[in-house]
């Protein structure tokens, strides 16, 4: 039985995190039923709408119960808590599993968007995965059919850098290249050699997940890997066995719960346009997943033929998820969204990804077979494979498995494949023929073997010193890890034994107690002594890359470690630890010192940030503003009260006079007196209104200045974050280059850009130089991509015995890019407003570099002309811009000459600009020299003139970009191709 079903898609938006609150972030997401909208609040203000199966609002409208569980704060609150998400998504997964369908639930989104919270959860707020696991056993316990039996088996794996690793295997015992993904008729797509554990209760499956998470942390530490770039899969095989008429029926559902790696940052340039994007295995899997989703969506919507080849084999991730995407599984995708306007591009990218995924169609199949039939089919397929291996005729027909036209190499490859398939088939047969009791016993023994890692928090896997089972960490001084992923924080615990605990890089002649990896980790990095009740740190060869509470201790200097001290090792802040002493509260340290704050502390004290927190001057400015606002509010209130009181007094005085003189005055006199009073009253009101308007204007001006100050402060904080991220990577890249003998050097510079909303924005650029010649500039996204390739490249170099003969092809060199065209010298801007009155504007405008420095002058102009290019006739001139509406306007654009250009870039100089709605840029011919004469002109026409065009002339500037070629850099780049020492 099969049915065509679409991939169901849910999106969920999280609350602001502390960082976003400190940056005064605005929420760019709105939800209304299944509709989700996103608005570009920081630039164009454009709004985009998407519709999904489910839209979960978890941004606000919640309160915390005494047990820590987050729930809606009122009956009308739209807040979606963990239970609602489970009831909507997890329950559907379970219902499908109970019917015998394969199921998949996977979470997608940028790093920090809340994927892990939805999937795993934190503390009492359990996510979909643990609640689903718990519910499986609740349903089994509720079964009253004695003819039905249930078996639950689980495995856990991780895909990092295109390697599949078994998370139930000690990281030190894993095969170097990871596990292989294979496929057979009977077994489908499977991971060869993946360990699976039989579990008979929720605590048992919880223990398996805890062991897998601990091994994941240890593995990340051993590999110096970034956890946010790994995919984690929990596989649950749920089997229902039914006895009927002396025969046993078998219904199998494989539930894949997938926590995808953080989606890479979106950008207009950078990694998204990097020639080596696909060369980086870190990016490969998510990129391949995007390609598969797009291809399946195109097939489902008729854009592509139904028989088109879907690129599942392009990555390990898509191969593993082949059944979930376009296969026989029932699949749900949950996309996690950041609410912050600063993450607009990344969140929009996630929404577009989700929008494509919802178009995919799967053909879900109930997996129901008699057990005997499945065993028979496995045996038959195994016999066929053996026959092919031996070159015998295949049972049931068909030729031999040998030769044909295959060469020796292909024959050997096929032979190896057949051997592997036979092993997998035999293992599957053996597993199926085991009793459930035997499977449980083996699982308990395996869990006991892994218990040392779990009980010690994973320390044992980190290279000794971690403390095995039986160590009471509450009574023992130790280091505990901090990780950017909260789920992996506190999983590694290195016991600080009596005497010395040596920390460093494991080598053939060096075996430290705590073994770490990475270029900036020295063999004898540092040592921690536990003696006489004191814990003392001594920095050794790694002193330059050892940071205690953000400060570098001098080599050989002893520093006493206190409870809660922060210890960071490595140039890229690779290893972050907290010092935990006996009898102290360890859990509160994780709240007081989160990973990003500890890294920020190091960056600030090492002078790598422009600012750290609010300076005394900033605090005083803030206090002054708040005082002025209070004073302004008080003055406004006082003025209102005084005006009201004065009017009341006038009224009372008038009434009193009227009463006194009523009998003496005739009607004419009363009328005159009434008019006089009205006049005085109006004057008093006008005076009070003017005073209040003045106060209101002053208040608005103060608010405007404060908004500008806050925006500038926020930009600085964002800049600090980028610098904190970029500087260690630049340092690491330069260390790798120096180690392997490449003369490339990376540095950092700040570039000023103007957004579409005319806001000034400062970005970090990374100039790449070779022997002092600046070749090209990278953006942060490209650096993020290249550093992973550099690390892989460095590992290969380290493994090569003959270093002198080691070369790399230019096309794969992570330092090399073609020097294409010119490098931007700077921009010059010309105001267009004069054209609204048919006046020319000719000027010598300054050329400003991306770093905000003047770097020459450009002589340009815009001139209104007639249709044939001459002067406009007097009768066609207008007195108001509105008179231009509906007419034709011709404008002559001139680029006359430049002067004072930088000498190193004064080659092949060109000037480019985009007029009004032009997609393609117009450009001058290339000229040489520091003062080139372009003598360029071009006529452009707007017919008819619209209000939008008039607004463009009135408010915009024409931006001229000046480019030049650094010939010495081009020559240097041409010599560098893949070689060392150049």
Known binding residues = 109-116
Supply the DSSP symbol for 271.
Answer: G
**Binding site for ATP: residue ranges?**
109-116
Residues 583-613: b if buried by 16+ CB within 10 A, e if exposed: eeebeebeeebbbbebbbbbbbeeebbeebe
Per-residue 3-state assignment (H helix, E strand, C coil) for 851-880: CCCEEEEEEEEEEEECCCCCCCCHHHCCCC
- What are 725's two structure tokens? 């991220």
- CA–CA distance, 524 with 535 (Å, rounded to integer): 18
Cα–Cα distance, 81 to 731 (Å, whole number):
43
What's the angle, vertex CA 895, arms to CA 847 and CA 886, rounded to 5? 110
DSSP 86: I
Pairing of strands 54-57, 8-13: parallel
Q: H or E segment at 82?
A: helix 82-85
Reading the block at residue 544, the tokens are 């330059």
Q: Which residues pair with 894 in a beta bridge?
A: 861, 937
Three-state DSSP class for residue 250 = strand
The Cα–Cα gap between 307 and 299 comes to 9
Four-CA torsion 944, 945, 947, 953, nearest 10 degrees: 150
Spatial separation of the C-alpha atoms in residues 81 and 407, rounded to whole Å = 61
Torsion, Cα 730 733 739 743, to 10 degrees, reads -80
The enclosing H or E element of 584 equals none
For residue 573, count other CB atoms closer than 10 A to its CB: 20
Q: Which of 951, 844, 961 is nearest to 897 (CA)?
A: 844
Q: Is the distance from CB of 165 to CB of 219 less than 8 angstroms?
A: yes
Residues 6+ apart with CB under 8 A from 317: 159, 231, 260, 285, 286, 288, 289
Q: How far is CA 418 from CA 194, 322, 374, in A?
A: 18, 22, 20
Tell me the chain's radius of gyration from C-alpha atoms: 35
Q: CA-to-CA distance for 694 and 289, rounded, in angstroms? A: 60
Q: Tell me if 527 sits within 8 A of 536, measured CB to CB.
A: no
């Amino acid at each position: 039985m099969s049915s065509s079903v679409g991939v169901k898609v849910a999106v969920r938006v999280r609350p602001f995190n502390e960082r976003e609150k400190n940056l005064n972030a605005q929420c760019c997401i709105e939800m209304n039923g299944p509709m989700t909208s996103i608005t570009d609040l920081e630039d164009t203000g454009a709004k985009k709408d998407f519709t999904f199966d489910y839209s979960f609002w978890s941004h606000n409208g919640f309160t915390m119960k005494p047990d820590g569980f987050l729930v809606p704060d009122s009956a009308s609150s739209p807040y979606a808590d963990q239970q609602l998400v489970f009831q909507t998504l997890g329950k559907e997964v379970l219902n499908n599993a109970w019917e015998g369908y394969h199921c998949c639930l996977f979470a997608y989104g940028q790093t920090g968007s809340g994927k892990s919270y939805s999937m795993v959860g934190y503390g009492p707020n359990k996510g979909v995965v643990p609640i689903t696991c718990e519910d499986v056993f609740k349903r089994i316990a509720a079964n009253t059919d004695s003819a039905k039996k249930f078996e639950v088996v689980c495995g856990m794996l991780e895909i990092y850098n295109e390697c599949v690793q078994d998370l139930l295997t000690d990281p030190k015992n894993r095969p170097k290249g990871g596990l292989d993904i294979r496929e057979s008729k009977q077994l489908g797509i499977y991971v060869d050699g993946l360990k699976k554990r039989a579990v008979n209760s929720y605590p048992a499956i919880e223990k398996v997940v805890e062991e897998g998470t601990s091994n994941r942390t240890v593995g990340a530490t051993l590999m110096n890997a970034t956890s946010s770039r790994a995919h984690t899969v929990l596989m649950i095989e749920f089997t229902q066995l039914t006895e009927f008429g002396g025969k046993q029926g078998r219904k199998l559902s494989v539930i894949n719960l997938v926590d995808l790696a953080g989606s890479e940052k979106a950008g207009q340039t950078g990694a998204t346009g990097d020639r080596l994007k696909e060369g980086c295995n870190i990016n490969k899997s998510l990129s391949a997943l995007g390609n598969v989703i797009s291809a399946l969506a195109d097939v489902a919507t008729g854009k592509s033929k139904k028989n088109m080849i879907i690129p599942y084999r392009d990555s390990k991730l898509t191969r593993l998820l082949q059944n979930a995407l376009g296969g026989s599984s029932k699949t749900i995708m949950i996309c996690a969204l950041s609410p912050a306007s600063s993450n607009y591009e990344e969140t929009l990218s996630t929404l577009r990804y989700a929008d494509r995924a919802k178009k995919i169609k799967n053909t879900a199949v109930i997996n129901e077979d008699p057990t005997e039939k499945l065993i028979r089919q496995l045996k038959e397929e195994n016999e066929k494979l053996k026959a092919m291996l031996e070159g015998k005729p295949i049972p049931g027909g068909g030729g031999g498995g040998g030769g044909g036209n295959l060469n020796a190499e292909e024959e050997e490859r096929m032979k190896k494949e057949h051997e592997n398939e036979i092993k997998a088939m035999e293992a599957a047969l053996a597993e199926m023929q085991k009793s459930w009791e035997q499977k449980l016993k083996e699982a308990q023994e395996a869990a006991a073997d892994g218990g040392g890692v779990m009980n010690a928090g994973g320390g044992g896997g980190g290279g000794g010193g971690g403390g095995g089972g039986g160590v009471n960490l509450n009574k023992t001084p130790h280091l505990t890890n901090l990780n950017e992923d909260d789920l992996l924080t506190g999983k590694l615990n290195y016991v600080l034994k009596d005497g010395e605990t040596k920390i460093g890089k494991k080598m053939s002649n060096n075996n430290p107690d705590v073994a770490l990896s990475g270029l900036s980790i020295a063999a004898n990095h540092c040592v921690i002594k536990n003696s006489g009740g004191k814990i003392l740190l001594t920095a050794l060869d790694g002193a330059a890359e050892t940071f205690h509470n953000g400060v570098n201790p001098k080599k050989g200097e002893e520093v006493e470690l206190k409870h809660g001290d922060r210890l960071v090792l490595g140039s890229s802040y690779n290893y972050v630890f907290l010092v935990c002493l006996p009898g102290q509260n360890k859990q509160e340290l994780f709240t007081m010192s989160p990973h990003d704050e500890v890294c920020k502390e190091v960056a600030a004290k090492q002078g790598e940030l422009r600012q750290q927190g609010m300076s005394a001057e900033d605090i005083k400015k803030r206090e002054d503003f708040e005082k002025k606002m209070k004073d302004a509010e008080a003055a406004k209130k006082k003025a209102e009260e005084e005006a009201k009181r004065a009017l009341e007094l006038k009224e009372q005085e008038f009434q009193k006079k009227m009463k006194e003189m009523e009998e003496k005055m005739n009607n004419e006199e009363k009328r005159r007196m009434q008019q006089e009073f009205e006049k005085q009253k109006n004057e008093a009101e006008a005076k009070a209104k003017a005073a209040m308007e003045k106060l209101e204007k002053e208040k608005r001006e103060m608010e405007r200045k404060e908004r500008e100050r806050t925006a500038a402060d926020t930009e600085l904080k964002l800049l600090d974050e980028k610098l904190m991220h970029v500087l260690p990577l630049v340092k690491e890249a330069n260390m790798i280059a120096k180690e392997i003998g490449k003369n490339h050097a990376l540095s950092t510079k700040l570039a000023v850009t103007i957004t579409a909303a005319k806001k000034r924005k400062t970005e970090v650029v990374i100039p790449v130089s070779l022997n002092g010649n600046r070749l090209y500039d990278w953006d942060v996204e490209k650096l993020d991509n290249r550093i992973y390739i550099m690390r892989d490249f460095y590992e290969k170099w380290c493994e090569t015995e003959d270093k002198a003969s080691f070369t790399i092809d230019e096309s794969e060199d992570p330092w090399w890019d073609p020097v294409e065209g010119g490098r931007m010298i700077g921009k010059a801007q010309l105001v267009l407003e004069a054209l609204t009155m048919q006046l020319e504007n000719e000027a010598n405008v300054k050329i400003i570099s991306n770093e905000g420095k003047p770097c020459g002058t450009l002589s340009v102009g815009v001139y209104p002309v007639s249709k044939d290019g001459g002067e406009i006739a007097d009768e066609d001139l207008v007195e108001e811009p509105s008179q231009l509406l509906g007419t034709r306007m011709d404008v002559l654009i001139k680029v006359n000459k430049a002067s004072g250009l930088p000498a190193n870039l004064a080659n092949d100089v060109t000037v480019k600009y985009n007029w009004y709605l032009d997609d393609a840029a117009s450009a001058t011919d290339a000229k040489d020299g520091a003062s080139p004469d372009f003598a360029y002109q071009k006529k452009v026409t707007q017919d008819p003139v619209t209000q939008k065009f008039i607004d463009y002339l009135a408010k915009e500037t024409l931006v001229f970009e000046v480019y030049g070629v650094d010939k010495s850099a081009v020559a240097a780049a041409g010599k560098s191709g893949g070689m060392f020492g150049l």
